[in-house]
Amino acid sequence: MKEKTMNHLYEYAKEGLRTLMICEKTIDQQFYRQWVRSYETAKMSINNKDQKIQTAVAEIENQFNLLGATAIEDELQEDVGETISSIK
């Protein structure tokens, strides 16, 4: 089911729909404490800060359990062009 859902989401995204995946992951306290230290260290870095943050985030954002997914059309509102012009 997971692969089928992913294929559908990919197709919806190609059509310009906004997609959202609802997932979960269980982690133990020891892993979380270690991850928080590594993430906080990355946030305080002076050199390559963005890369270090991305690396820390990648440590935790993987191997989720897919619970569900949505795809919605996000059409522009009427008069959006005029609103953007007036903001400028």
Decide: pTM greater than 0.85: no
In a domain? residue 88 = no
In a domain? residue 44 = yes
Q: Which amino acid is at 84?
A: I
Q: What total number of domains does the chain contain?
A: 1
In a domain? residue 84 = no
CB atoms within 10 A of CB 42: 19
Enclosing domain of residue 37? 2-74
Per-residue pLDDT tens digits for 9-59: 888 888 888 988 899 999 999 999 999 999 999 999 999 999 999 999 999
Please calculate the CA angle 10-12-14 and round it to the nearest 5 degrees: 70
In a domain? residue 22 = yes
